[in-house]
Chain A
Amino acid sequence: MNGCNHMGHLTPALLVDLAEGIKAEHSVPHLARCDACRRALAELRTTMADVAGPGIPEHSGCDVPEPSPLFWDHLSTRVREAVAEQGAHGRAHWFEAWSRPLVALPILATVTATAVLAVVTLRKPPVPNPIPATPLPILQSTLLPSLPPLEPLGAPDDPALALMADYGTSLGWDELREEMAGVSHSGAIDEAVITLSTEERQELQRLLEEEMTQPSALGAS
């Protein structure tokens, strides 16, 4: 690009460069032989000088009144306030958006359903392991061939059998089954202790102390 337009004159960009001194006049030979371009350049320089004023731009004819130093203090305060206000408005806008029925109702319904489900699940008592109605299979001697054969039950001189017989007559098996089912969940032992009477607790304590004072118990601990 030689800086001339289709009429052969200098382009606006080149004239601006010449007027501002970015390009030297002697570097553009066209200027020496074109009165129109010289005139255009002279007018451009005159207008620039008029707009800028005599010399330095800050002393020009359309200089800006300098605001007082207090203006800058107030400006920073105003900007801070605007930022805070926008933040508050943003939070309010967020709440407003979330409080719209179309948004809030499905969310509220979901949260409520989840909460109800959680409560129902947590409050449902654990299903106790059912005690089989049929007696558990007794180990057969074929499984443990090394053990001696069991003594036949019902020997009349066995005191343990007499004790069991007493228990058997006084104990309701259905009640025992329910009781066993009730204490099968975690924490059931604590609950059972709480339900004991004072005499029963004292007896339990005595039995435990007796058990602990035995040499085998101490040795184990």
Chain B
Amino acid sequence: MDQNTSRIDQLRALIAGYSEKAAAVYSETAPEVLTLLSTQAANRWVEMGCLLAEASAAAAVKYFRESPEILRAFTDRANVEPALEVGLRLASQNYGIALEYFRQCPSILPKIGPRGLWEWARIAADLDSQSSALGGSVGYGTAIEYLKSGTQILDHLAPDQLSNWAQLGLVLAQEDRKSKDFLSLEYFRLSPELIGQVASRELHPALLEIALQLAKTSSKLAMEFLKHSPAILAVLNRLQIQNAVLAIAKTLAEVAPSVVPEFIGHSVEALTLAEGSLIQFQQWAQKGIAIARTNQERAGAYFSLKLKISHDVLRQLSKGVYLRDISRMLRLYAEGLCGKPVEINVGSGPTGLPTKPEGAITLPEKIALFTQPEDNFRFYKVMTFHESGHLEFGSYKSLSPLIINEIEDDMEFGLKQALKVHLAGTNQGSPIAVQDLLGQFPDTPLARNLWTIVEEGRIDYLLRHEYMGIRRDMDFVIDQQLKGRPTISELPPRQAILEALLQLSVADTTEVPLAIADEVAKAYAILKTVQHPNATVDDSFKAAHSLYLLIKKYLQGLKTEAATDTAGPQASTPEEDFQDNRVDMGHGTLDNLSYRNPLDLQCTSGGPGQPANPESSKGKTPTSLFKEIKVPQQSGETLPKGDRIQTQPALRDPERSEPGTYYYDEWDIATGDYRPRWCRLQERIPEDVSSEVVDRIKGEYGAIISLLRRYFEYLRPEAFKKIKKQLYGEEIDLESAIASFTERRAGMSPSDRVYTLRQKKTRDVSAAFLIDMSGSTSKLIGHSSPTTHPSPLVDNAKAWRAGKRVIDVEKEGLLLLAEALDAIGDEFAMFGFSGHSRNQVNFYKFKDFDEALADPARQRIGGIQPFGQNRDGTAIRHVTAKLLGRPAKIKLLILLSDGKPLDEEYNGVHALEDTRMALREARARGIHPFCITVDRDAREYIQEMYGEISYTIISNISALPQRLPRIYKQLTS
């Protein structure tokens, strides 16, 4: 004890030499410490204290005060001495770090062992010296953060990765020095948690390596990567995929570091698009890396899936088939087969639209059920084929009125009653909608399901009978479909019977539990009655009715059995019983085979000789389901505006066209196909208005007009031109005649083209101008207020212009142009368009091709008023059709617009793409479209809208009147 005390005192004196305060603390804790340490270690301990005290008394005080606790924490005290050895080396460099080092020693030692200590400490020292340039406290902070998180990181990281992890911190710290940033601090603080999120240690090396590589370019990039990748790796879930993603990221980090975040950020999405196939994903990424080697920016867009080619590559790699690639083809296929207009909609197949117009086929966006694209296509084909079968073989036809008499004797009481009420309101002998009848069955769901099974079976049978070639494909699809069906024996009785029938309707064999075997056999026989080449929808209905009776009887039998077993009273009517027992019987709706769209009974065809349904349904009793079902269809999405019947009586029958009404398709970019007969265009001739506007413009531009006329008259070609070497003509072409004689003399066969022909020479140009008259053209030009009426005294051009609207300037332009065109003698027409919704595109004829330029035409142009919206595509298509009827060789379509196309359900990409498609159609038919826009902001969208079509933007709209004739001249000369 004494020995100890004297030793403590001796050493105290040593410490006191540096700091009295530290010595005092030492005296307090030394007795305990010395009992914990060997003599060697104790000496080192004091040595370290002295070193600290020498640099900072405060540090030494902390050191001595915390020492007992720290030392107690050492699991193996033999390690204290080597730890202090390292501490001493550190302390000579930086006391603060040495202290923190000592604090962390007990927790880190078990993880790295005494041998690892120096390496660990050295990094701290490096960090400190690296970042000391930022100011002592910062560098210190980074190193401290490093030491503190070291123990945490080792909870996650394998010890051999520690140096890599620290290395990254070092690189970041170096970077911080340059950028005066604190990313390394952040790194050490956050990385244990971030890396901790990546559960699999196998991934850590790659993760750190990538971050390190990125840090060489930018610390921010590295941090960004570390922050975001763990969450994404967690979503990727499978180690194989995670490894693959990191491997790609690693390559990218070398090739194009800036692209890595885009890649990581979109990897999940891309993988989904690649149908979860790692190989496809990797191939996609390889293409991206190839791009990255030449163009990093493009690669960024590629990996963030913003580039079209990126999707194209995925699609090409895909084994799935996309509807948009084949929707037009499928539509033509279906139209060819059934001979009726068909519309292909995107939807999720069986759960598609609740109501659909006749001829609508809903198909999924993509089919990737099979590994081979051809097989996926077969699925699409069979789906389309099956639907066109419904159209071809009249699934949507109404039933013959005689059908009720035919089945009347067998009808159950409830149905009879319901029908009696239902039919009271209808005309005797008018056809009946299937839906209507099914709705009257007491157990409507059962009736509907049976009807579906029977009718689908009939269609499939007829299709197989009529089309030999499809059998292969249908067998293939049905085979696949049956694999996914529920096992019949596991279903409740009601569903079991339905399921058995459904399977039998396509496959002819299935495993049926003994309990229902008899019933199914009977039902199957009924099912077979509609499977002959002449079966009609009436036969289907009769069969469905027989099945209904059969199955209901069977189910009620079951119910009675159950009731007698439990000795329950039988008070209620059978119907109600049946309802009560629904759950037991299994009343779930039957999932049809997914190659079949839901057989939509609500869409009945309105073929000729068949009274329109709304009329025949008048005066129905409220009990009828008919009304409830029909009404939503009337106002459903197939007919766009609910109020259109009131406001536009003429529109009630869209097929009945009044003169001057035209229908045009519209391009739908979403499906990659046209919406057939989508827009209705009405031609109108505006009324003549007063000549005031024209007079004013003539007054203002009088001089320019006469100049223009003179100039354009000068361009007018000679009236006649002599063409030589003709087979026939007015005069002999001497030159060729002599040549011909010479040839004859020479024994050759002479040319018989020896005449000159005076041919009328025209410019042979037909130009159509199409003006967007939408409401937006009423915008004022410039800043002045529209209300001031210019006094005649200050009536100069400038004052006028200040109050002018876009449309006014367009008018001036058109009038000037009209004069110029008249002078040059070209055939031209001027049209305008506006409107609202696809049912009401107004097309105004200001001057038609055959009309001479006279005052009425001028006044119509002068009277143009802005109104409504603009559906450019439809108007362009109409002008195209008009131009095609002109005999001129050169056909010009000049579109003058003031902004983006915009109409009801016609905006954004859809509108731009449709306009573009309309222009392309025009071009494909030999018309030269040219677009002039006065929208200064047009640059954003114009490239997309006009694409390869030539266009010009006039940013100074006031110049339009003079520019227009000049543009025209350039276009035609």
Does B associate with A? no
Interface set of A (CB-CB < 8 Å, partner B): none
Interface set of B (CB-CB < 8 Å, partner A): none
